[in-house]
Structure 1
Amino acid sequence: MPTPIHDPHYAPGGPLKRLPLRKAAVMFVAAVCLCLCGLLYLQLEQSRRYDLSLAEVASSNLTRAMAQQAQDTFLSADLVMTSLVDWIQADGFGVVRNPRLQRTFARRVQALEQLHGLFLFDKNGQWVVTSFDDLPRRGGVADRDYFKFHQQNPTLLAHIGPAIRSRQNGEWIIPISRRVNDQHGEFQGVLLAGIKLAYFDQFFKSFSLDDNGVMFLALSDGTLLARRPFEEARIGESLAHGDIFQKYLPHASFGNGMIRSVVDNVIRLYGYRQLDAYPLVVAAATPKETILRGWYANAYQSSVIVALVVLGVGLFGWVFVLQVRNGELIEADLRTAQERLEVIATHDSLTGLANRRLFERALDIEFARGARQQSSLSLIMLDIDFFKRYNDTYGHVAGDQCLAEVARAVKSCCHRKSDLAVRYGGEEFAVLLPDTDIHGAFTIAEQIRHSVKDKHIIHSGAPSGSLTVSLGCYAFIPEDGDSVEVFIERADAALYQAKNFGRNRTVVVSMEGSPEVVVHSEVC
């Protein structure tokens, strides 16, 4: 399809190129959806961190309360034993003093609810006095760890040992003991206070804790003393290889940590604290799932809402993109139709060459450009010889075919995009040649003349028996004020000179408008 001449100020693909609306719409919808998802993520992450921070504060407060209670419990028992040890070391014990000691032991146990009992053993580990009315009939305690500790260590500080079953009545107790010396500082025996394990069990149960929550009291070496939930089989087991004793306590005496349990594989937030006065460690743990239970519910609701919003935006975006796409298709069809209409308006429907309307537009453009650049502009006017006779002889249908063949011959000799072949009217044609001097125009004119002749179109009405054309050429350098009409008239004058000189030839007109050269290959 021939290309119409457009406004020279229009530059497709230039800096003012139209924004691809459909791509922009897709990017906008995607950006909105990503922003919504990003905001949701930031809000949920901030909320999660806030819930965890609150849980850490609560865990720290809980372990502080546990540590204070444990320290008070053992300190009360320790103070009782300190006063009793001082009394025993000063007055001694024996058959005469033992009844008084027994009554004193009983009163002290009644005053402290955490005490299971008070027990005095001699240097051989045999029972001397207890807070109970009767002494056990079973053997002594020489085999107990706490007794061996005091027997082998001269320290007068209190010693807390692993939980044991009392040989008095079989109850689980935590032993806290002190060494008893004679007046010469020699080992005389051991005073023991038994802390009820059930006391800590009741204390642990007083806290509102999840069913999967954990609380424990342990020695600083990791030996478990008391635990919630209570499991008798786990009393005395070692926690020394756990993360609290391996990773946390060596660096800080208290703190928090998110730890996965090796027992049930549950992740819990542990708060831990080591007691200042005694070699004890307390810890409390809440499952991470419990801490974030409210967060999970909120995250689910927020995610559903955002998902619905994203879905709505996506659907509206999809509809919008479809509308944009349909609009682009309609616009493309309109543009194609406009281009076709422009071609119809500027080209001859029979020959496909430019018509006079496009020719006049091209002349205005090339005149202005030639004047700016001082370049030569040429025009070839040509006419089919004896065409009326051809129509009369062969009919109008054959005449139209003849015009189309001549147009093809003319078009084939226009080798540049800037060359414009025109059907000027009837059997008359024109060729506008920018940047071409008179010699170039003459050369192309001769190519056209020979191209038509070489087609050997039979024309019985012509002297030569075949179809020929006559051509006139004119060239000049346009200047401001030059007339387009004069330019056409001079080329047209050259054409009439060619006809007057016998047709089937090319005539070149000089700058002044007079015939300069007449060329023909055959005499008509």
Structure 2
Amino acid sequence: MPVPIYDAHHAPGGTLKRLPLLKAAVAFIAMVFLCLCGLLYLQLEQSWRHDLAQAEVNSINLTQAMAQQAEDTFMEADLVLMSLSEWIETLGEGPEQRLRLQKIFARRVLALNQLSGVFLYDKQGQWMVSSFNDSPHGEEVADRDYFRFHQQNASLQVHISPAIRSRANGEWIIPISRRINDQNGDFQGVLMAGIKLAYFDQYFKSFNIDDQGTMFLALSDGTLLARRPFEERQVGASLARGEIFSKYLPEATAGNAMITSIVDGIPRLYGYRQLQAYPLVVAAANSKDAILKGWYSSAYQSSAIVALVLLGVGLFGWVFVHQVRNNERIEADLREAQEALEVIATHDSLTGLANRRLFERSLAIEFSRGARQGSPLGLIMADIDFFKSYNDTYGHVAGDHCLSQVAQALQQCCQRKADLAVRYGGEEFALLLPDTDIHGVLAMAEQVRQSVMARNITHSGSPVGCVTVSLGCYSFVPSGRDSIEVFIERADAALYQAKATGRNRVAALAMETLPEQLQRSDR
């Protein structure tokens, strides 16, 4: 079987297969892309979480401050009402006391910035005393929610009502009120203090929240009392269906939540807290966009940098892959050239058959294989009969054509890949037949002889009128100590025997026909 001089599929120094460089390059570039994108995602995701966590801490602190301020504001007003109700129950509210009460009311209002006014109403809802000098006495407030509440409830606890417009000065106030009883415990009237909405508006403005942020104060039933930004049409609106009141407050009295507002539809991070002393809820929120504004800026910058890096990697990868492909094409061309050189080095240029160099290499391999496996190895030596006469008669060009025709006949008879047809020299050919005993060798030789004659190459110098060949056959089982030269000589001796007995025939080597030196080598 022919053996290549150089195997292009193996590295020069060992048996390791060549790495698929193009696939490895593409895989590496893809891995770089994935790693950079993954690192960018992790960095942005971590930064996102950090910004939201920081915003939650700020939101908790903000609602704590709001709750404390709201509780202090209402507690101060409540203490005023408590002390005034005790004064009224002790001294009464008769005509002789009203002027004195009016001055006390006025002093209390001046002492507390959050108070718009303090008012005392009788059991019919008529104004009796207020902190204003020119109060329109005689106008009823029996229609007010806070008045009806105390009229219908015997509790002496403070009551906070939804925001209303004061009939005294027209400004928005939050009524905080107490019930006044007579000495028998019957309903005598209502003492009310109005807390300015403007006070909460100014207080809310002191906090640093974004333009889309919001703050509000509401009753525990969801009725909106005060809000930043202030919108008059929203005063008294119900937030009961909002997520803070319907979902979060029933679970916890304080916390944080990302909520889309039912008022304006803007997603915000809300911090909320329910006051312990009063039925009030405070909440503050910054918009999600404002919270993540710095994150968005950082994300754009990081993404731009990573995009530039990926672009650079991509361009480098494209150039590298392009170069690898060029190298592969060059290597393929070199392999083709190497294969062509190998064919030139191991094959006869005229006939295309193997030359003596490849023949000798194959012999060495088949000797070793035959010795290992104990299989026979056959050899046919063939020579064109009267070829010198053919050249002299028809010329060298015709002689070359004759050689090619005979070579084709030999090649066509080789049905197995292991069979090797060889131009041994001049008009002499050889046929190496691995794993073939003498009977198989003789049969193959006869097939070759018949194939050559079937081509009917005219030869006037031949007794049969066409080109013929004589063939010598030999086969043996290699033992590992055999001589290649002796093997060839034995087949060649058989060829001489065929020529000596009349040409155009097949001969196998007989022991008695061996030259003396070959007989000695057999012994």
**Normalized against structure 2, the TM-score is what?**
0.95
SS of equivalent to 2:395: helix
SS of equivalent to 1:227: strand
1:105 maps to 2:105: yes
Deviations 1:332-362 (A, max 9, x none): 1111101110110100011100000000000
Cα deviation for residue 294 of structure 1 reads 1.4
CA distance in 1, matches of 2:138, 2:154: 28
CA distance in 2, matches of 1:262, 1:383: 107
Deviations 1:276-310 (A, max 9, x none): 11111111111111111111111111111111111
CA distance in 2, matches of 1:189, 1:510: 150
Deviations 1:135-182 (A, max 9, x none): 314521111110100111111111000001111111110000011111
The residue identity in structure 2 corresponding to 1:283 is A
Root-mean-square deviation (CA, aligned residues, Å) is: 1.8
Aligned pair in 2 of structure 1 residues 229, 181: CA closer, same or farther (>3 Å)?
Answer: same
Match in the other structure for 2:520: none
Cα deviation for residue 90 of structure 1 reads 2.9
Cα deviation for residue 121 of structure 1 reads 0.8
Match in the other structure for 1:456: 456
SS of equivalent to 2:128: strand
Deviations 1:99-152 (A, max 9, x none): 222222111111111111111111111111111123314521111110100111
SS of equivalent to 2:464: coil
Cα deviation for residue 11 of structure 1 reads 7.8
CA distance in 2, matches of 1:266, 1:512: 115
Cα deviation for residue 261 of structure 1 reads 2.6
Match in the other structure for 1:400: 400
Deviates more, 1:3-12 or 1:22-31: 3-12
Aligned pair in 2 of structure 1 residues 94, 419: CA closer, same or farther (>3 Å)?
Answer: same
Cα deviation for residue 382 of structure 1 reads 0.6
Match in the other structure for 2:353: 353
CA distance in 2, matches of 1:79, 1:219: 20
Match in the other structure for 1:470: 470
Aligned 8 A contact 2:10 2:18 in 1: no
Match in the other structure for 2:518: none
CA distance in 2, matches of 1:403, 1:262: 101
SS of equivalent to 2:256: strand
Aligned 8 A contact 1:215 1:282 in 2: yes
Aligned 8 A contact 1:490 1:513 in 2: no
Match in the other structure for 2:409: 409
Match in the other structure for 1:118: 118
Aligned 8 A contact 2:116 2:195 in 1: yes
Cα deviation for residue 6 of structure 1 reads 2.8
CA distance in 2, matches of 1:310, 1:170: 66
Q: How many residues align?
A: 513
Deviates more, 1:279-288 or 1:99-108: 99-108
The residue identity in structure 1 corresponding to 2:390 is Y
CA distance in 2, matches of 1:17, 1:71: 81
Cα deviation for residue 12 of structure 1 reads 6.2
Cα deviation for residue 504 of structure 1 reads 0.7
Aligned ranges for residues 335-350 of structure 1 at < 5 Å? 335-350=335-350
Aligned 8 A contact 1:217 1:281 in 2: yes
SS of equivalent to 2:298: helix
1:17 maps to 2:17: yes
SS of equivalent to 1:96: helix
Cα deviation for residue 29 of structure 1 reads 1.2
1:147 maps to 2:147: yes
Match in the other structure for 2:37: 37
Cα deviation for residue 183 of structure 1 reads 1.6
CA distance in 1, matches of 2:2, 2:153: 113
CA distance in 1, matches of 2:79, 2:101: 16
CA distance in 2, matches of 1:510, 1:159: 136
Match in the other structure for 1:519: none
Match in the other structure for 2:4: 6
CA distance in 1, matches of 2:489, 2:400: 26
SS of equivalent to 1:105: helix
Aligned 8 A contact 1:44 1:299 in 2: yes
The residue identity in structure 1 corresponding to 2:402 is C
1:265 maps to 2:281: no
Match in the other structure for 1:247: 247
CA distance in 2, matches of 1:376, 1:455: 31
Match in the other structure for 2:64: 64
The residue identity in structure 1 corresponding to 2:206 is S
SS of equivalent to 1:38: helix
Aligned 8 A contact 1:256 1:269 in 2: yes
Match in the other structure for 2:225: 225
Cα deviation for residue 388 of structure 1 reads 0.7
SS of equivalent to 2:95: coil
Match in the other structure for 1:316: 316
CA distance in 1, matches of 2:511, 2:247: 105
The residue identity in structure 2 corresponding to 1:321 is V
Deviations 1:240-291 (A, max 9, x none): 1112112211111111111123343322111111111111111111111111
Cα deviation for residue 417 of structure 1 reads 0.4
Cα deviation for residue 91 of structure 1 reads 3.0
Aligned pair in 2 of structure 1 residues 15, 132: CA closer, same or farther (>3 Å)?
Answer: farther
Match in the other structure for 1:386: 386
Match in the other structure for 2:207: 207
The residue identity in structure 2 corresponding to 1:71 is E
- Structure 2 unaligned spans of 5+: 516-523
Deviates more, 1:505-514 or 1:219-228: 505-514
- Structure 1 unaligned spans of 5+: 516-524
Aligned 8 A contact 1:90 1:183 in 2: no
Aligned pair in 2 of structure 1 residues 15, 178: CA closer, same or farther (>3 Å)?
Answer: farther
Cα deviation for residue 71 of structure 1 reads 0.4
The residue identity in structure 2 corresponding to 1:261 is S
Cα deviation for residue 189 of structure 1 reads 0.8
CA distance in 2, matches of 1:118, 1:510: 146
The residue identity in structure 1 corresponding to 2:53 is S
Aligned 8 A contact 1:118 1:192 in 2: yes
The residue identity in structure 2 corresponding to 1:105 is F
Deviations 1:426-449 (A, max 9, x none): 110000000000000011001000
Match in the other structure for 1:446: 446
Cα deviation for residue 83 of structure 1 reads 1.6
Q: Percent identity?
A: 71
CA distance in 2, matches of 1:74, 1:272: 18
The residue identity in structure 2 corresponding to 1:57 is V
Aligned pair in 2 of structure 1 residues 513, 132: CA closer, same or farther (>3 Å)?
Answer: farther
SS of equivalent to 1:48: helix
Cα deviation for residue 511 of structure 1 reads 6.6
SS of equivalent to 2:458: coil
Aligned 8 A contact 2:2 2:418 in 1: no
The residue identity in structure 2 corresponding to 1:61 is N
Deviates more, 1:158-167 or 1:261-270: 261-270
1:216 maps to 2:189: no
The residue identity in structure 2 corresponding to 1:252 is A
Cα deviation for residue 5 of structure 1 reads 1.2
Match in the other structure for 1:90: 90
SS of equivalent to 1:185: coil
Deviations 1:206-244 (A, max 9, x none): 112212111111111111111111111111111111121
Match in the other structure for 1:518: none
Match in the other structure for 1:521: none
Match in the other structure for 2:493: 493
1:482 maps to 2:482: yes
CA distance in 1, matches of 2:434, 2:283: 97
Deviates more, 1:312-321 or 1:421-430: 312-321
SS of equivalent to 2:462: coil
Cα deviation for residue 478 of structure 1 reads 0.6
**Normalized against structure 1, the TM-score is what?**
0.95
SS of equivalent to 2:507: strand
